[in-house]
Structure 1
Amino acid sequence: MTGATNDLFRVRSRLWGMKSPLVLLHGLTFDRRHWEPLRRELEVVDPGRCLLALDLPGHGEAPARSSYRLEEVVEVLHARMTAAALPAPPIVVGHSVGAVIGTVYAARYPARAVVNLDQILLPGPFGDIVRAAEPELRGPDWRAVWERMLAGMGIDGLRGEARHIAETATDPRPDLLLGYWAEILHSTDEQIRADREADLRKIAARGTGYRWITASEPPAAYRDWLTTLLPEAVVTVLPGSHLPHLEHSAELARRLSEMD
């Protein structure tokens, strides 16, 4: 756990500014190295900002677990944020499944805002794909499922360091895929929808900000669903891949620097 300890030390040792700390949660199979380009850009445009980039349970240098159910992951991350002694409720920036985790976190614990990077909160067609692939995920050809997922992320369109990080800062394993997709595999769409609606109502009641940065124009029905539950939600289309923190790190840093 050396890397995690170093992250916590860096948080404690920085001079605190007036802005809310940023907690960064990467996507499935990736790790906190995905935030390095964004960190560098923030050092330029927002040098006083406190950053805490965490490895999700089972990723990077974070220990593996027997279960990665959503509620358990949120509790593990909350314990690590508490250990970091953040002086104020954070802005939780989550990519992909990290955005689902960040949303659930903000419904349970104080947060200044959530920044959702390219993640629809309802399973929809993706849920159908995951459920259909479950037998394959439990067999020797599980990696083929993940390769199909990667093919739709737009990684081939990334260049230089962004592509290198996308291709190397990752460690796919069947326990992670099955574990982090457990909600989809073991719940109906209706149950998940009800859970997310309860989460979003709690976020709205807390007055927690919510920004969704999506790579393509969202379906009108989904956008209406989200903004009905969160009337103050800000939806931004940033065209490109599923990895805006790598493809548009400077633009994302600028947008985050404007949040307090």
Structure 2
Amino acid sequence: MTHNNQLAHDLQGTGPLLVAVHGITENRTFWDPVRLQQHFRVLRVDLRGHGESPRTAPFGIDESVEDIHRLIESLGEDLTGDQPPFIVGHSLGGVIATAYAARYPTRGVVNVDQSLRVGPLPAEIAIAVRGEGFEDFARTVLASMYGELDPELVADIERRRTLDQDVFDGFWTPLLDWDAETLAAWSRRATSLPPGVPYLSLHGTDAGADYAEWLADRIPAAVIEQAPKRTHYPHLAQPDWFVSRLRKFFSV
């Protein structure tokens, strides 16, 4: 990847390297309230099509994993030392963080409120994503996940998120276009982490009664926890609590 196509990013703090990956329609500044840089050297990225990163198709999870890996490699050993990074992802970023750890050495993963159990979506969803009603559809889906989040935080997220139909469609393509068998095979690859990689699945919303059992089949070492606040944004609802939970889980 040429330098011009490198992901927009910033580096803050000292300590072990931690990569922070935002959710769909968001950007790296959405991590601002979460003071991870007090305990880690934090590499925050804008995914392709988001924030200040290039708007270069295709937009997808596998492409994002490679983008992040190339960025880490380009920053060199001064950044990583002899230890691979921790990686934390929220929402879509949680899938990307998981897929990254399945492909590249990782010290540990925290997936913030993203179920990894997926299946093909019905045709009417594809019509909504790809049609003239996209913005209303996207806003409705995203608004359904705020839960107990403070209304001021909700207003801030609404004001700052970017609804780009092509980018949204790209990241949702596996759910919209792939058949069940293809999607299941991809999911199995994306969740095939090496044994012993610490993995925390931290949920602010309900992942389903049997999700823990499903995840344990995919990632036997996974720890599944419910965050104190019921929201898709537990890291923003209680940032100090979130940072302390990460430090404890990563033993930092």
State the SS of the aligned residue for 2:33.
helix
Distance (Å, rounded) in 1 between the aligned partners of 2:154 and 2:140: 17
**Contact 2:9–2:44 under 8 Å retained in 1:** no
The separation in 2 between residues aligned to 1:163 and 1:151, in whole angstroms, is 9
1:110 and 1:24 mapped to 2: Cα distance? 16
Deviating above 6 A after TM superposition, structure 1's stretches of 4 or more consecutive aligned residues are none
1:123 aligns with 2:118: yes
Identity over aligned pairs, percent: 32
How far has the Cα of 1:53 moved from its partner? 0.9
1:92-139: CA deviation from partner (whole Å, max 9, x where unpaired): 111111111111111111111111000011224xx536x422123222
Give 1:227's aligned residue: 216
Instruction: Give the counterpart letter for 2:165 in structure 1.
Output: P
Q: Distance in 2 between matches of 1:209 and 1:104?
A: 14
The aligned runs of 1:46-65 (5 Å cut-off) are: 47-65=38-56
Q: Given the alignment of the two structures, is residue 104 of structure 1 paired with residue 99 of structure 2, yes or no?
A: yes
Structure 2: distance between partners of 1:79 and 1:250: 31
**Larger mean Cα displacement after TM superposition, 144-153 or 24-33:** 144-153
| Alignment correspondent of 2:145 | 153
2:87 maps to 92
Verify the 8 A CA contact 1:156 1:163 in the aligned structure 2.
Answer: no
Instruction: Tell me the SS of whatever aligns to 2:145.
Output: coil
Show structure 1 runs of 5+ residues with no match: none
Distance 1:6 1:79 in 2: 12
**More relative contact order in 1 or in 2 (CA 8 Å, sep 6+)?**
1
- Is contact 2:23-2:91 (8 Å) kept? yes
TM-score (norm 2): 0.86
Aligned to 2:27: 31
Structure 2 stretches lacking a partner, 5+ long: none
Instruction: Give the TM-score normalised by structure 1.
Output: 0.84
- Does the alignment pair 1:134 with 2:126? yes
Equivalent residue, structure 2, for 1:208: 197
Give the number of the structure whose residues are more often helix, by fraction. 1
- Give the number of equivalent residue pairs: 241
Match of 2:162 in 1: 171
Aligned equivalents of 1:96, 1:5: Cα separation in 2: 19
Asked if structure 1 preserves the Cα contact closer than 8 Å seen for 2:8 and 2:45, the reply is no
Shift of 1:38: 0.3
TM superposition shift of 1:176: 1.3
Distance 1:5 1:55, change over 3 A: closer
| Structure 1 residues 35 and 91: CA distance shift in structure 2, 3 A | same
* CA distance in structure 1 between the partners assigned to 2:203 and 2:241 by the alignment: 13
Measure, in 2, the Cα distance between the counterparts of 1:234 and 1:121. 14
For 2:21 and 2:104, the matched residues in 1 are separated by: 16
Aligned-residue offset at 1:66 = 2.1
